[in-house]
Amino acid sequence: MVLALAFALALSVAGCDEDDDDYSYVSENCTGVDLGEDERYDLCCTLRCEGESDWDDYHEECRADYTCTASTGDTCPHEIIEFYGYPECIY
């Protein structure tokens, strides 16, 4: 009995509690648009998710960030984003 209590205490102090699992992950999906003459744009969707599960209770929150990067370092023209659109976020 004393050994079991000591083992349970050691697990809880070490953070090995099986009823609580936290996680996070990031996925990115990009598509390139090459218009020639060194005019290239990368449109991306980056999905960031964090979750937690406690026994039978599960909770997850995800946030999608959309970016467009021009090869020239300039801001992407709104017309490029409208015409080509951002790629779908990958879950």
pLDDT, one tens digit for every residue, the chain (91 residues): 444 444 444 545 455 555 568 889 999 999 999 999 889 999 999 999 999 987 778 888 999 999 999 998 888 999 999 999 999 999 8
pLDDT score at 20: 66
pLDDT score at 54: 79
pLDDT score at 5: 44
Q: Please answer whether residues 71 and 39 qualify as being in contact, where contact means their C-beta atoms are separated by less than 8 angstroms.
A: yes
pLDDT score at 57: 81
CA dihedral 63, 64, 68, 71 (to 10 degrees): 80
Residue spans of the domains in the chain: they are 25-91
How far apart CA 76 and CA 67 sit, in angstroms, is 9
Q: Hey, what amino acid is at 80?
A: I
pTM for the model: 0.68
Q: Please answer whether residues 90 and 77 qualify as being in contact, where contact means their C-beta atoms are separated by less than 8 angstroms.
A: no
Residue partners of 34: CB distance under 8 A and separation at least 6: 40
